[in-house]
Structure formats: C-alpha cells, structure tokens
C-alpha cells in the first residue's frame, strides 16, 4: 500500500511537541496531541530514543503482542519524505521539515563541486573519495539543532545527544542504556535524545524478515524495558526514522535510453531519485522512464513535488530548489534503483511511498 507523508502526525510532530514543551516559540509545525498530554505532566527527564529503521511493520513482525514495546505503542505516525535517515533524523534533531532544513537524502548535488555528495559521510557519490577538506553539507546547509533551540529558550534545561556521533558517545544498546541512566540521575530538567543505527544496518544487509533482525529488535525491546525499570520521573519515547522493505535492485547505467537523457547521475535516494535531464529530452523523459520501469515509480515534476508539499511546510531552504532536479521518481514497488552496478549492496531499502517504510511508532513509557 502507498502512504504519503502526513505532517499533521509525523516524527516532526514529536520534535514540535518537545519544542513547545520547552517554550521554543518559533516552531510552526503541528505537535502530537498524545505527546503533549504526557509532557503536560512535567517529567524531569524527557527521553526520545530513535532506532534507525524500526518501523511499525518491523515491530509487529518480530515482537509478540504482549512485548514491552508493543504494549506501550500509543499510535503509529508518519515519517517525513523521503522516508530516509538523512531527512528524518535531521527533522527530529532540528524541529524543521525537510523543506526547511534541506537535508533531503543520502546524495545531494552541490554546484560548487559539480558533484553528488553523500552528505553524512562527506564523500563523492561516484567513487567514495573525500568530497572536500571541509564538510560540504555543514558549510552549505547548516542547521540549528533542537538542543541549541531548547538551551536558547531555557537557562535551566540540560540537553544531551547519546549516539555514536553525539556529545555523549554510545555505540551499543548496553552503552546507550548506561549513558541514559547516568544522565537521567543528574539534577534538574533534561532533554535526552538517543540514536542507534540498528536495526537498519542489519535489515539492509540481511532483509527485514531475517532472524538477525528479529534478534536485534528483541534486544532493543529488552534494553528499553530494563532502562525504564530503573528510571524515575521520566517519559521515554521510542520511535524510528523510517521502516524498510525487502528490495530488488536495478541500475540506471544499464538502461541506455534513460542514461543518455541525464545531465548527471541521479541523486537523493535509490527509491526517491532526483533527475536532472538534458533540455532536448525533457518532453520525453517521463514517458520513457515509465516505459522502462512500468508501475515501479510515481514520476513527478519539480512543481508537482512542491504542490503536493512532499517535503513538508515552512520556508523553503534556498538550496532545496537546486537539489531537486527536473523530475523526482518515487518508488511504489520493491525496486531500488542505483546509478551504477557497483552500488549493489543492499537487499532492503527505504525512502519510497510504501506504507511499511513510511509508518513509524510513537511508543511512550511513563515512570514515576
């Protein structure tokens, strides 16, 4: 089934609720009513734990109905678009829509380098080499964090980012739990955000239904349950950036009728592809693409993307228009479409319109 992003009830709404709770006045996005009601109880610790790729479908597939996480599932919510880590975690880490922050996907085209750059890794799409001596995305699409926004509005709220990349490093589920317990025991109000790259890493490599994924999700369930039993005066939210779908793979360079029409290789994501098309082919591109990949993608013009508010609402980052090509092809099938065959490394993917990749959990546990 197809699901379009719902910015009235999305992971961005979780961030909006947090910002509203801490008195940040300049967030225009819809909050999540269920979270607002919990936050009105003024817990000392507000803890948001994001597990990459752990969509509602994965939880329902791999955990028993009476498991800790499923019994505390309040409601499903929408991911942002694209349903991918780059766009979604930046939204929850900033309180901005993808339209506002500009971090649309894994690979973005930067005119300064005339290259597609993997923004999280700061590497070139075409060969994996370092893109520049500086961080390209941080220079051209800087983004104020939710931590900075909270601390600007409050003198007495401490904020912490627990992850392999955060100011409180943690690389395993056990380390995340230990860090959260340590931070939660400090005096005063705190906002604690945690990120784990699992189960996404395992799903990409082994598929969404694999035994390895089941073990990861069961371990997450156990980790969160053990954590919550030790916490006091806290609310713990568990969510995800997106889900995944098992996928087949194809390669644009092997479709010569499409490849010859492109100014440069496709960017953004293999299930949400931005195409910059040579002028003489713009009239024919959509028809030819749909002939090559019948029923696999919804193909939209740039204007149609804006008209549908796929990237959300707010003031558009000035870079978004440059990142978005003449056409955007969004997967409604199980296909991952890479530029080159050497990119063939995933058996599951995300960033399309499938309900399984677009639907994530809002799980809430309150501890007294």
Residue 185 pLDDT grade (very low, low, confident, very high; cuts 50, 70, 90): very high
Query: What is Dmax (Cα atoms) for the chain?
Result: 65
Omega of the bond leading into 199 within 30 degrees of 0 (cis)? yes
Omega of the bond leading into 320 within 30 degrees of 0 (cis)? no
Q: Are 347 and 207 in contact (CB under 8 A)?
A: yes
Q: What is the pLDDT of residues 206-245, one digit of tens each?
A: 999 999 999 999 999 999 999 999 999 999 999 999 999 9
Q: What is the pLDDT of residues 347-366, one digit of tens each?
A: 999 999 999 999 999 999 99
Q: Are 165 and 195 in contact (CB under 8 A)?
A: yes
Percentage of residues of the chain with pLDDT beyond 70: 99
**Predicted pLDDT of residue 341:** 86
- Please state whether 351 falls in left (phi above 0), alpha (psi between -120 and 50) or beta: left
- Please state whether 59 falls in left (phi above 0), alpha (psi between -120 and 50) or beta: alpha
Strands 248-251 and 335-338 come out as parallel
Q: Is the predicted pLDDT of residue 344 greater than 80, yes or no?
A: no
Residue 113 pLDDT grade (very low, low, confident, very high; cuts 50, 70, 90): very high
Exposure of 143 in the CB half-sphere (CA atoms within 13 A)? 29
**DSSP character at residue 182:** H
pTM: 0.96
**Predicted pLDDT of residue 25:** 87
CATH topology of domain 246-348: Gyrase A; domain 2 (3.30.1360)
**Predicted pLDDT of residue 52:** 98
Q: Looking at domain 11-98+143-245+354-367, which CATH architecture does it have?
A: 3-Layer(aba) Sandwich (3.40)
Residues of the chain with CATH 3.40.720.10: 11-98+143-245+354-367
Q: What is the mean pLDDT of the chain?
A: 96
Residues of the chain with CATH 3.30.1360.180: 246-348
Tell which residue, 52, 70, 50, 71, has the closest CA to residue 61.
70
- Range with lowest mean pLDDT among 18-22, 107-111, 123-127, 308-312: 123-127
The Cα–Cα gap between 134 and 132 comes to 5
Percentage of residues of the chain with pLDDT beyond 90: 96
Mean pLDDT across 33-53: 98
**Predicted pLDDT of residue 62:** 98
Integer-rounded Cα Rg, in Å, for the chain is 20
Q: How far is CA 344 from CA 61, 124, 248, 251, 347, in A?
A: 26, 17, 10, 9, 9
**DSSP character at residue 172:** S
3-state secondary structure of 277: strand
**Predicted pLDDT of residue 322:** 95
Q: How far is CA 321 from CA 223, 265, 302, 311, in A?
A: 42, 17, 8, 11
**Predicted pLDDT of residue 343:** 64
């Amino acid at each position: 089934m197809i699901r379009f992003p719902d910015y009235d009830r999305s992971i961005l709404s979780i961030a909006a609720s947090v910002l509203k709770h801490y008195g940040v006045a300049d967030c225009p996005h819809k909050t999540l009513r269920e979270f607002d009601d919990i936050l009105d109880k003024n817990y000392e610790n507000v803890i948001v734990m994001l597990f990459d790729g752990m969509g509602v479908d994965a939880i329902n597939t791999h955990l028993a109905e009476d498991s800790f996480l499923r019994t505390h599932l309040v409601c499903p919510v929408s991911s942002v678009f694209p349903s991918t880590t780059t766009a979604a975690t930046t939204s929850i880490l900033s309180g901005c829509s993808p339209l506002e922050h500009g971090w649309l996907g894994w690979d973005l085209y930067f005119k300064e380098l005339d290259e597609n750059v993997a923004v999280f890794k700061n590497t070139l799409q075409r060969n994996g080499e370092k893109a520049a001596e500086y961080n390209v995305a941080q220079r051209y699409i800087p983004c104020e964090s939710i931590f900075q926004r909270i601390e600007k509005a409050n003198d007495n709220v401490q904020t912490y980012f627990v992850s392999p990349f955060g100011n409180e490093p943690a690389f395993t589920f056990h380390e995340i739990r230990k860090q959260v317990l340590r931070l939660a025991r400090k005096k005063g109000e705190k906002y604690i955000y945690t990120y784990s790259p699992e189960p996404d890493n395992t799903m990409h490599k082994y598929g969404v239904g694999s035994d390895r994924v089941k073990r990861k999700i069961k371990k997450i369930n156990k980790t969160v349950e053990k954590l919550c039993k030790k916490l006091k005066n806290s609310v713990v939210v568990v969510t995800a950036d997106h889900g995944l779908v098992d996928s087949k793979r194809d390669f644009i360079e092997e479709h010569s009728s499409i490849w010859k029409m492109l100014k440069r290789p496709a960017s953004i994501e293999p299930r949400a592809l931005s195409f910059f098309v040579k002028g003489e082919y713009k009239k024919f591109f959509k028809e030819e693409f749909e002939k090559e990949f019948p029923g696999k993608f919804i193909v939209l013009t740039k204007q149609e993307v804006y008209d549908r508010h796929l990237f959300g609402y707010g003031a558009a980052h000035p870079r978004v228009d440059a990142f978005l090509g003449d056409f955007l092809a969004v997967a409604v099938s199980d296909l991952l479409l890479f530029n080159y065959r050497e990119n063939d490394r995933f058996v599951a993917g995300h960033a399309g319109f499938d309900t399984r990749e677009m639907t994530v959990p809002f799980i809430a546990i309150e501890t007294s």
